[in-house]
Amino acid sequence: MFRLLILTLVFITGCSTTSELNPMDHISGEWTFTEKGNDYENRKNCIFLISGELACSISEAGFANGYGDAESYQTKGSWWIKNDSLILIETPTFNLKQNLNSQYSFKSFTLSKIILLNNNGATEVWYKKD
């Protein structure tokens, strides 16, 4: 019984929980956010480089009255984490004079899923690609 208690303590102390994960150490990689409604689907796929660079592909599709409209574009920019916020500055490749600034608050972070609160107060769930 004593050995079981010791093994349990070693196992528990050797494991980190998701609340202890530092997003700065684990955010690099490819992440995807998809937003779906009855008449639209938007997908954003971003690569976060450890250097702070960011490259995203965005596709937006809408459907109404039997017609559909879709567009795809890329952005490039930078990211950083300050306090509990993820900050993105993106420039669409079709308009290099336009900057898109976004600030998110972390609600939850694991190695495969990030839950963020965006500028508008909406929750976004991002999944890491393997």
Which domain covers residue 110, as residue numbers?
A: 36-128
Name the H helices within 15-130. 23-26
Is residue 75 classed exposed, middle or buried when 0-12, 13-18 and 19+ CB atoms within 10 A define those classes? Answer: buried
Say if 112 falls within a structural domain.
yes
Q: Which of 55, 50, 63, 46 is nearest to 23 (CA)?
A: 50
Antiparallel, parallel or unpaired: β 53-64 and 29-36: unpaired
Task: Return per-residue pLDDT of the chain as tens, 130 residues.
Answer: 434 333 333 333 343 334 466 777 789 999 999 999 999 999 999 999 999 999 999 999 998 877 889 999 999 999 999 988 999 999 999 998 899 999 999 999 999 999 999 989 999 999 999 7
Would you say residue 19 lies in a domain?
no
In a domain, 16, yes or no: no
pTM recorded for the entire structure: 0.77
CATH of residue 56's domain is 2.40.128
